[in-house]
Amino acid sequence: MVTGGASGIGRACAARLAGAGARVVVVDRDGAAAAEVAEAIGGVAVALDLTDTAAVETIDADVDVLVNNAGFQHVAPLPEFPAETFAALQRVMVEAPFRLVRRALPHMYARGWGRVVTISSVHGLRASAFKSAYVTAKHGVEGLSKVIALEGAPHGVTANCVNPGYVRTPLVENQIADQARAHGIPEAEVVEKIMLARSAVKRLVEPAEVAELLAYLCTPAASFITGTSIAMDGGWTAS
């Protein structure tokens, strides 16, 4: 199961897992886009808004691999940050993963094998101004992942976070205008001066690169990797 699987990182992860032989459940609030991806990879589409906690409890979560990827972004100074947007971000990026994993684990435990991979962010390890909700959510789900790792270890279940820098996705492209406004710079300068300023490698991460790391974490060779956060941030956290 890949949440937010209709575009960006989620779509790349769904395609990569399907290529490895998995039957992927593509979960996204955009049902039509999810159906398109599912048809292309031989998977199953589920239209679901993760802010709807009651609806999250109805989905069939008996899966062997759970990829918590869905998320969204809002950029604004703290005094201007809408409280309802802050709460919605936590529901999608922290509460939904919790609700899904608590229902997926019994199936994984019964099989004696499972993988929970959270597509976190460099913002799960570092903070940036004007992203209070996103940074809070990513730090929160990092903690959840560690608890899953500790509880799941006796049952053959691993849990890890993948922490990319800025990835070439609609989520990143759609925040350029907000970043420009918040920092008081032209949109054309946002990628260089804001997004890549702390990265030693001066380019955006490609979704396929994230998906490849995810796929590795699902292999037998990665069975001893659990409870950790793997940065693929171009050197951002090295400084």
Give residue-wise pLDDT tens across range 180-204: 888 899 887 888 888 888 999 988 8
Is a pLDDT exceeding 80 seen at residue 174?
no
- pTM assigned to the model: 0.92
d(C-alpha 4, C-alpha 92), whole Å: 10
pLDDT at residue 171 above 80? Answer: no
Residue 109 annotated to the active site: no
Most confident of 31-40, 164-173, 188-197: 31-40
Structural domains in the chain?
2-167+206-232 (3.40.50.720)
**Residue 96 corresponds to which tokens in the numbers above?**
């939904």
Give the whole-number percent of the chain exceeding pLDDT 90. Answer: 85
Average pLDDT of the chain?
95
At 139 the pLDDT is 98
| Burial (0-12, 13-18, 19+ Cβ within 10 Å), 73 | middle
Name the nearest CA neighbour of 141 among 172, 119, 122, 166. 119
Catalytic choice (109, 134, 166, 216) = 134
Q: What's the pLDDT score for residue 93? A: 98
Burial-class residue 83 by CB neighbours within 10 Å (0-12, 13-18, 19+). exposed
